Structure 1
Amino acid sequence: MAKCHRNNVDPLILHRTPSASSSSVSANTFSGSSLRRIIFDAISCGGSSRYRRELREEDDKDCSKSTMIGEDSMRKPEKLSDLLNLAVIESGVETKKKEETLEILKRVVKDLQAEAEAEAAEKKIAAASEVRLLAKDDIEARVTLAMLGAIPPLVSMIDDESQSEDALIASLYALLNLGIGNDVNKAAIVKAGVVHKMLKLIESSKPPNQAIAEAIVANFLGLSALDSNKPIIGSSGAIIFLVKTLKNFEETSSSQAREDALRALYNLSIYHQNVSFILETDLIPFLLNTLGDMEVSERILAILTNVVSVPEGRKAIGEVIEAFPILVDVLNWNDSIKCQEKAVYILMLMAHKGYGDRNAMIEAGIESSLLELTLVGSPLAQKRASRVLECLRMVDKGKQVSAPIYGISSTSSLGRERGHDLRMTDERKAVKQLVQQSLQSNMKRIVKRANLPHDFVTTSQHFSKSLTF
């Protein structure tokens, strides 16, 4: 049995002789309770030994765990250092890649700037093709190539009559890609004289090369997006070229060239000084007569909204035959919200500035279209339509009541209706007159298109008068 250190009982006490004062009761007590205590202590001492052994085992486990934790803590710095090393490696790879790309760009620009040699022409064509590809989707490459001096040699290639078609197309599209999303490059390209060189290239090629013409149109589109380039391009004669491309797209140009020409003309029309150059061409009649084409109607209306903002533009639109019926038809058949908003904007400015234009609008049957817009149009279209209606009401105040446009042939009829009209609000009277006028105008147009007898028109007028509102 293990030795107990907690209760150090001397075994000789069992043989101690009791004193005289101690009776047999003490001896009995010693022999009973003391013996039991000794046995209990011995047993508990053994149990304590087992308990301590278990504690030691647990301590050993804790020690092993702490050792494992220490090893993990040693591993974490190792992982962190691995990540840092990996980041350094990746940074080094990226830096090396950038250096290699820079060397490529330097080599390309050097080939573009090559002097007249036997192989210089081929190098320039290859270099221009590389610039086109490198600048197509890489923003940094566009900046770097321009800083290295790629723009002047590309522009000079356009002015060289000895260049082949492939060289011209490569240089034109290289310049186009260099200007994508980069206003600094756009300004630098125009400053290098590319506008006049492109126009000269078009004039010198008879007949014009379709591929080269489309590349030049695309360049005009990109360069005209910058405000500082608009007056330079507009006064250069480029508008005439763009209008010719737009009008002859079915014969010599693709649908993409037509779209690019329209967008370029829109960009140029934003600058009001260019409207005078636009009016020197026959673009306005062509645009109005092309409004039936749904693919380009919104772009055409966008150009007209810029033209109508100047007095000369409003005059040019008003002089076009059937201009107002065409614009009113846009309100009727075109479900595009943008087209409706733009068309009613043009009509609003025309009605606000010109008294004679209001009469032409009324004759075109605009009232019913405006009333429909005020009910089901977009908020912006509703607001603009209401303003046009207000302008048309001014025409009613300036005319005599016996005017045939309202279907009232004498002052006696006015007296018969005066009592009823006085009980109506001004708004209801205005709407009633507009509805009657719209019905009559639409009926006249229907009769005219159907080639019905003139008596049918008179009967329809009496029928429209009898309608209650």
Structure 2
Amino acid sequence: MRDPVIVASGQTYERTFIQKWLKAGNRTCPRTQQVLSHAVLTPNYLIREMIEKCCRTQGFEFSNHVHYINEEAVIEPDHGHFLSLLEKASSSALSEQKAAAKELRILTKKMPSFRVFFGEFSDAVPKLLKPICGSHSLGNVHPDLQEDVITTLLNISIHDNNKKLVAETPLVIPLLMRALRSGTIATRSNAAAALFTLSALDSNKELIGKSGALKPLVDLLEEGHPLAMKDVASAIFTLCVLQENKARAVKDGTVKVIVKKIVDRVYVDELLAILALLSSHQKAIQDMGELGAVPSLLSLIRETTCERNKENCIAILQTICLHDRTRLKEIKEEENRHKTISELAQNGTSRAKRKAGGILERLNRVVNITHTA
């Protein structure tokens, strides 16, 4: 460090390196991730004096030659371009809307500063959404325009400081829900990804759940398009971390869709994780039993080499044993034939061994009680 400077967050950096950071379009402090209120770099004379003293003590030559550039010019011109694109996006001309939406999609993907800008202007998100929110159906919106706007919404939601603002903008969640049902598969997948990103905040989980977004997510999961499955599963899992959303997901038929996919061995890893999360809900346990989940989970333990999947399977089965006694006979008969749980209790991970041991103890108690009776 030769020319230490202080940024708006109070952190000190070498001037040449922080200038490169700002010129790349970043508007945050690299260390704290705080959004910088301005790009002025203030010389840190105390640190500079300490460096000079250290160099003299160690016998190093210290150069006083420093290159300065106009820091304000590093990022200020982007504001004008950003505002110009928003005006075009919210205009009445389709050609301007499409061109602006396409460019905003690219810029918000490549340049973090453009994501930050959306948080600095209160009307930025509504202006972005204007081209696709005037119609009662997204089917009437040009598919490319819809895809670009929804993807831009996803991009700006990545920035942590935008998550609350975006989710609480009244038009956003209803539009994402509509986008889950119509448009290109990229649009639908990115709408799911946006809900996943926004649901990182607990307050957003609650807001999204109350809005009814789980149902279109489950419907898209049931369709099973390969390009959308990962984003949809991630969104459902994150939303269901909130207890209230587990009940909503179960009510919307999530268990039925997931059990069917697992039986068909489709996207097993992610869907097992969701099922394990939902297994704390009594109605989910009941649904699993009625849908034939038990034999499928046991056969999956025998087939899979993935230790995490085995752990999730046995965790679900243990919960079923605790809360649905009618399935104990089914599990006991299977255990007598294949010794699936005993094998896992011997050779599984520590978590799997513990869960499998718990099931075996319960099965033995039931047998002993039956014999005593």
How far the C-alpha of 1:293 sits from its partner, in A, is 5.6
CA gap 1:110/1:346 in 2 versus in 1, 3 angstroms: same
Q: Secondary structure at the match of 2:371?
A: coil
Match of 2:238 among 242, 252, 267: 267
C-alpha distance in 2 between matches for 1:200 and 1:171: 13
Aligned to 2:370: 399
CA gap 1:400/1:116 in 2 versus in 1, 3 angstroms: closer
- The 8 Å contact of residues 331 and 369 in structure 1, kept in 2 or not, is answered as yes
In the alignment, is residue 335 of structure 1 matched against residue 305 of structure 2? yes
Q: Secondary structure at the match of 2:211?
A: coil
In the alignment, is residue 147 of structure 1 matched against residue 149 of structure 2? no
Match of 1:168 among 133, 143, 146: 146
How far the C-alpha of 1:340 sits from its partner, in A, is 0.4
Q: What does residue range 224-263 of structure 1 map to in structure 2 within 5 Å?
A: 224-249=199-224, 253=225, 255-263=226-234
- The 8 Å contact of residues 179 and 188 in structure 2, kept in 1 or not, is answered as no
- The 8 Å contact of residues 224 and 233 in structure 1, kept in 2 or not, is answered as yes
In the alignment, is residue 186 of structure 1 matched against residue 156 of structure 2? no
Aligned to 2:7: none
How far the C-alpha of 1:342 sits from its partner, in A, is 0.6
CA gap 1:355/1:115 in 2 versus in 1, 3 angstroms: closer
Aligned to 2:274: 303
CA gap 1:331/1:179 in 2 versus in 1, 3 angstroms: same
CA gap 1:140/1:128 in 2 versus in 1, 3 angstroms: same
Asked which structure has the greater RCO (Cα within 8 Å, sep 6+), the reply is 2
Equivalent AA in structure 2 for residue 393 of structure 1: N
Equivalent AA in structure 2 for residue 268 of structure 1: L
CA gap 1:247/1:117 in 2 versus in 1, 3 angstroms: closer
Match of 2:361 among 390, 407, 416: 390
Aligned positions, number: 309
Runs of at least 5 residues in structure 1 that lack an aligned partner in the other structure = 1-72, 403-469
How far the C-alpha of 1:401 sits from its partner, in A, is 6.2
Give me the CA root mean square deviation: 2.9
Larger of the two Rg values belongs to structure: 1
Match of 2:253 among 254, 273, 282: 282
Q: What does residue range 103-142 of structure 1 map to in structure 2 within 5 Å?
A: 103-113=77-87, 121-142=94-115
- Sequence identity of aligned pairs in percent? 23
CA gap 1:294/1:109 in 2 versus in 1, 3 angstroms: farther
Aligned to 2:132: 158
Which has the larger helix fraction?
Answer: 1
Aligned to 2:341: 370
C-alpha distance in 2 between matches for 1:332 and 1:157: 52
Aligned to 1:88: 67
Match of 1:351 among 293, 296, 321: 321
Equivalent AA in structure 2 for residue 189 of structure 1: V
C-alpha distance in 2 between matches for 1:111 and 1:133: 12
Equivalent AA in structure 1 for residue 67 of structure 2: V
Cα deviation digits, residues 226-279 of structure 1 (max 9, x gap): 322112222322222112212223xxx4x1212211111111221121222222
Aligned to 2:42: none
C-alpha distance in 2 between matches for 1:390 and 1:117: 68
Runs of 4+ in structure 1 displaced over 6 angstroms?
Answer: none
How far the C-alpha of 1:111 sits from its partner, in A, is 3.2
How far the C-alpha of 1:351 sits from its partner, in A, is 1.2
Aligned to 2:196: 221
C-alpha distance in 2 between matches for 1:333 and 1:117: 57
How far the C-alpha of 1:294 sits from its partner, in A, is 5.4
C-alpha distance in 1 between matches for 2:295 and 2:266: 20
The TM-score with structure 2 as length reference comes to 0.74
How far the C-alpha of 1:372 sits from its partner, in A, is 0.8
Q: Secondary structure at the match of 1:365?
A: helix
In the alignment, is residue 325 of structure 1 matched against residue 304 of structure 2? no
Q: Secondary structure at the match of 2:280?
A: coil
C-alpha distance in 1 between matches for 2:100 and 2:297: 50
How far the C-alpha of 1:353 sits from its partner, in A, is 2.4
Q: Secondary structure at the match of 2:339?
A: helix
C-alpha distance in 2 between matches for 1:258 and 1:211: 11
